Structure 1
Amino acid sequence: MRLLILGGTWFLGRAVAELAIERGHDVTTFTRGRSGTDVPGTVPVRGDRTSGTDLTRLAGTGSWDAVVDTSGMTPAMVETAAVSLAEAVAFYVFTSTVNVFQGWPLTPLDDASPLRVYTPDGPAGESVADRYGREKVGAEQAVTRSFPGRAALLRPGVIVGPYEYVGRIPWWLRRLARGGRVLAPGTPDQAIQPIDVRDVATFALDTAEEHRTGSFNLAAPIGSATFGGFLGACRQAVGSDAHLEWVEHDFLIHHKVREWVELPLWRPYAGTWALDAERARTAGLTCRPLATSVADTWTWLTGTGQLVDHERAAELGIAAEREAELLAAWDARYDPAGSALTVLP
């Protein structure tokens, strides 16, 4: 198969490229060449995907059986690519997000859940997360307009694993490696369902090979992992004797801990980790254990692993001083004998 990847040097794009080369495909990648390195065996083409001129030049370099778009963010960006490649590519696999659903992260979702309504401009005061989801809906529409009946939309939840550009698991690994008393959010039995980047890449490549149409949620099975198991795997991977102090959701909310950011992967809503991916599993999606993703991420970090310079990574994680203050406040709920609450959160 002749495969084009929009992206291909970092995280999901890299995982798709590595697997495609392993399977013997002829792989072209299209990137600006500013982050990551080219996967050996691929044919790199440099250019800016926001430029119609660059994409028209790309389309003129050949034809492909499929494209896997791992870097499309805005409707305009994706429409430019889809229109430019419509005659050069037979099938389009677009990586979208669970955030296209109206109910995420508040309520459990499945493949049939209603989507956000796309409008070019969002409402006043729209959050970054809402804008991201709205624009991804518009991007999906751009793909299906140019590739009617020959496109697949992949809607993953949280993707983790080696080359993770946001750095959620890397932050926790490094925090556990420092040792000491670690603020752990919520309860250890809280179910979570991140999916490994290599499992997403496998499904994306299978979809491209089979020209499998439709939309697919991508997540590990609901209840397949817990936050306690995840942090335990981090502690084991780094060889730490850190003590996990589990702090209640309400306490963290009261103290204005920034969900998803200060304590990565923590979000106190019922729908955060309740994404049903039955359609994808029926089509062949399989997911490796989260502990494997954790161990492999640590191996990468302690080898040649470097986090890409990404705006979201820069703000990730809780400062040591802030963590210490929260733990002290958590302790202060009890009297010196530790027998009764004296300060309610």
Structure 2
Amino acid sequence: MTHALFQPIQLGHVTLKNRIVMPPMTRSRASQPGNIANDMMAKYYAQRASAGLIIAEGTQISALGQGYAWTPGIYTAQQIEGWKKVTKAVHDKGGVIFAQLWHVGRVTHPDNTGGEQPISASAIKAENVQVFVDNGTQAPGFVDVVTPREMKKNDIKQVIEEYRQAALNAVDAGFDGIELHAANGYLINQFIDSGSNQRHDEYGGSLENRLRFLAEVVTAVTRAIGADRVGVRLAPFTSLNGTIDSNPALTYTEAAKLMNTCQIAYLHIAEVDWDDAPETPLSFRIAVRDAYEGTLIYAGRYTAEKAEATLKAGHADMIGFGRPFIANPDLPDRLKHNFPLATHDAGTLFGGGEHGLTDYPPYNPSHNM
């Protein structure tokens, strides 16, 4: 039933043992002060090293790139050292792990950015969007985002350089590669989508211009660490964090063509995954497959059966299983043997300690007979 999921695959410079991806999921457990990856996080990822590929949680490339309390960074020496614990733990278990490089743009609050006003493609506030801040307790406190300032040319150059340096830092920290977070309404997505980009220079207006920032960031990181170590995540049909495009099918097919030209290792498509969300149009899946020749990953509401069918149809090469990985550290084994899946505790997703992070047990048939 799940034969296709368990075939090995070559991804850039690494061979993966199966087609199962643990996609990036924010858990907000970084050590304070300093937003430093720690032993607890190393244990969490090592427990899930049976995935073909782990993409670690979104990791800010600068202090201004941080959107939420307690998320890890990768721009200081201490942060790089912290991530070395994680990558070693995963590699010791035979796993492969990429870092997801993250700049949230306007999706933040000055409480999370050292008091600085956030930046974005345009000075447009994300409506009805909240982020959580450290309010002095272990429970996150939610606040409305603020209006960002429009990035000037020197801001754009600086952020591109921050991405480039973060990619080098990730390799230094032992990651096998990096994924650029260009999805879910964060900074790169804010340049791509027509609703959040109202610029009148070469970074706004036409589709080619709105894709320019993505192209320049990808060029910078591929030159720094090699295209075979770079993936990109896109979210064509989501409206997360207030970004909406007037013609997402066209916009993201063109983005896929661009990524093919850049010869990146993989393209990661985040599908809408809320209850009753519409399926990604088959016509779009076909168009993306025609446009992009590298490894295609899809993630969002997949069961083993749906994943198998998607792989066999040739629409994807790997499948991401997000929330199921939280409560099922041995998810590949459970999928392979059709073992039941545990359900995660939603109250422990963000912040806190080991509870809800590392204390989910693997399946034990003798305990479940």
Would you say same fold, with TM above 0.5?
A: no
TM-score (norm 1): 0.35
Q: Which has the larger radius of gyration?
A: 1
